[in-house]
Every structure is written in C-alpha cells, then in structure tokens.
Amino acid sequence: MLDIDWKSLPFGYFKTDYNVRCYYRNGKWGELEISSSEYINMHMAATCLHYGQEAFEGMKAYRGKDGKIRIFRWNENAKRMRRSAQGVMMAEVPDEIFREAIFKVIKLNEKFVPPYGLGAALYLRPLLIGSGPEVGVKPATEYMFMVFAGPVGPYFKEGFNPVEMQVISDYDRAAPNGTGHIKVGGNYAASLRPLHRGKQEGFASVIFRNSADRRYIDEAGPANFFAIRGDTYITPDSVSILPSITNMSLRQIAKDMGLKVELRQVAIDELGDFDEVGACGTAAVISPIKRIVDRDTGKVFEYCKDRIAGPYSTKLYVTLRAIQEGAEEDIHGWNTIVE
C-alpha cells in the first residue's frame, strides 16, 4: 500500500516506478522502452542543452467515480507537441507513439493515480529533446522522446480559492513572431525572473502583456487568461500565447452553458469592466483571480465578492472537472478510458 496523503499533494516532482523512452536515429523512431531510472544519459553537445531544442507537454489522468482512469483530449497534446517540434525543427513524434507512451506510463504507474474526488491527478510530462551533438547552430539529427508521470495536487496552493496576480510590462515572455505559441523551454526560461519577482511581491503569478505594444493581455504565467462580462466568456487571441487545451474546452463548455464566447484581443484597459477573471490550464485547471494589481500604475482591480469565485467560473470549473472525472456525460468525446 502506498502511504500518500493525496489531499495535500503539492504540484511538483514525485518519483514513481517507471517512465518510457523512445529514440529517433537514422531518420526513424525506434521501439518504446520502459525504464525505472530517473536519469538520462546525454551527450554534452546535445542541441537541447545549447540551442534549446526542447518541447514538453502537460496532461492529467483522472480516476473516475466509476474507478476507471480517464485521459483528457490526449490527441490535442500530441498535435501541439508536433507543432512545437516543427517550430524548433525537431523530429515530430507520431501520434501512435505518443499515445502508446502515455497509455503505457499510466498503466505502469497505475497505483499512483489518485483516488476519485480528492482534487489530485496523475500528471504526465511528455518531453522531446534534441539529443544529437552539434556545435554549429543547427538542428540535431537525433532526438529522444520520453514521458514520466507523478501524482499532483493543484498548481496554485490556493486550489480553487481565488488568487492575486500582478500585470507587468517590464518583462516579455515571448516575441510576436517568436515561440510563444508553442510549448518550448525557452518561453519558460524567459518567465522565471518575472514569476520569481511576482511571488516575492506576494502574487500567485504574473500576467504578461503582448510584447508588440503591451496594450493587451497575453497570458497568466503558465496558464491562459479568461474573463466573464455579463453573459460572455472572453479570452485573449494573440500570436504569442500558448493555445490552451483547457481554454479551448472551456470555450465549448461556456457555449454549452448558453454563454457567448469572444476570442479576441483583450485590452488592459478593460480590466475594470469584468465581473469575473481567472487563469486556466492543465496544471491550474481554473484558478479564479480575486485581485489584479497593475505594477506600473499601482491600480487595483477587485473581482471576487466575499473572496469566493464568481458563479460562472465556479460552474465552468465544476463542469470541466465532472467531465474529466466521468461524473458528467462526455458529450464531446474528450475522454479516453485507459484500459
């Protein structure tokens, strides 16, 4: 029996029994291998170390009310990883290999999938790296794809309790025609310093503006931003943000709930007009935001009355979680049961 306090799991690395790996050599992918080592053996001139040839994904497997394990929209993560690979000239992982890898890693670590209803999940981290050596700036000829997994709790320690965020303009996460729309390590490197400062200043995360003219909201650290105004779900459209699979799903759920949906540029000047705001992503699910402080002007925007999440954010959160955990009908066919 595992001695895990599922209810108080942080979002972090957790050692499990197995991970899976697959190598791309001589122009083709090999067979998937199972490993119980947490380490990889790597060439010191591997392009991932020097030129950032690296992409990752984040996804969750949930234990349902019926005891079954479900994985949410895995094919969207596979597609996004292919787009990331194209973006930094890596070998693309075929969807069949991606699927086999994530299903295998879940099955092998089945005992680490948290029980239903405790707010925890098995987080999967697919990772693709340029492993071949180069010293000139060019793509590698060899790649390594791996997936590891571990049980996690909520990304923000507040869980579904509202957090405070800071909107900043002195750091950019990604350039307009850069790599913001794909999930490559460099974007996260660029966010470390502002996120660290934001935390030191008392905020759960920072909200980045679009880097072209800084008049619009891009995203909320490692999550997309959304707002509710009246009966409309509003979320930024920008070339430099990561197209979130959670956000895409919330837009559909919002429509199903009878809300209007706007995917458009969202001006900083609109922050005072919203009834509810939040951050969304696989790790964060929905994190309601109670307060946004503009670091430049000191202006404060308050949202959650009585410090609790607004009604639409709550309904979106409850519905999404219920679909992911098999407690509500999966009308869009988003889940795959892991057998």
What residues make contact with ligand PLP under the rule CB under 6 A? Answer: 58, 219, 222-224, 242, 244-247, 281-282
Burial of 40 (0-12, 13-18, 19+ CB in 10 A): middle
The one-letter amino acid code at 247 reads N
Rounded distance between C-alpha atoms, residue 69 and residue 108, angstroms? 13
Smallest separation, CB 1 to ligand PLP (Å): 32
Closest CB to ligand COI belongs to which residue? 58
- Among ligand COI, ligand PLP, none, the one that 287 touches (CB under a kind-dependent 5 to 8 A) is none
Which residue has the CB atom at the shortest distance from ligand PLP? Answer: 281
Nearer to ligand COI, 18 or 188 (CB): 188
- 111 vs 196, beta carbon nearer ligand PLP: 196
Rounded CA separation 52/74 (Å): 25
- Residue number, 220 or 259, with CB nearest to ligand COI: 220
Return residues touching ligand COI (CB under 6 A): 58, 222, 281-283
- Cross-strand bridge partners of residue 261: 233
For the CB of residue 282, give the shortest distance to ligand COI in the complex, in Å.
Answer: 4
Torsion of CA 172, 175, 181, 183, to 10 degrees: -60
- Min CB(174)–ligand PLP separation in Å: 9
Please, which residue, 222 or 278, has the CB nearer to ligand COI? Answer: 222
What is the torsional sign of CA 186, 188, 190, 193? negative
Among ligand PLP, ligand COI, none, what binds residue 218 when CB lies within 5 to 8 Å by partner kind? none
Helices (H), 56-158: 74-87, 95-108
Q: How far is the CB of 230 from ligand COI (least distance, A)?
A: 28
224 interacts with, out of ligand PLP, ligand COI, none, CB within 5 to 8 A per kind: ligand PLP
CB of 334 to ligand COI, least distance (A): 16
Minimum distance between the CB of residue 32 and ligand PLP, rounded to whole angstroms? 23
Of residues 240 and 282, the one with the C-beta less far from ligand COI: 282
C-beta of 132 vs 287, nearer to ligand PLP: 287
Instruction: Give ∠ CA 249-145-93 in degrees, rounded to 5.
Output: 60
**Region of residue 87 (left: phi > 0; alpha: psi -120 to 50; beta: else):** alpha
Q: Which does 242 bind (CB under 5 to 8 A by kind): ligand PLP, ligand COI, none?
A: ligand PLP
76 vs 134 by CB, closer to ligand PLP: 76
Looking at residue 105, what DSSP letter applies? H
Separation between Cα atoms, residue 322 and residue 17, nearest integer Å: 29
Q: Is the dihedral of CA 96, 97, 103, 107 positive or negative?
A: positive
Report the C-alpha gap between 141 and 131 in whole angstroms.
Answer: 8
The CB-of-31 to ligand COI minimum distance in angstroms stands at 27
Cα dihedral 5, 10, 14, 19 in deg (nearest 10): 110
Amino acid at 113: V
Both tokens of 336, joined, read 């795959």
278 binds, among ligand PLP, ligand COI, none (CB under 5 to 8 A by kind): none
With respect to ligand COI, which residue has the nearer C-beta, 282 or 313? 282
Least Å distance, CB 43 to ligand COI, is 26
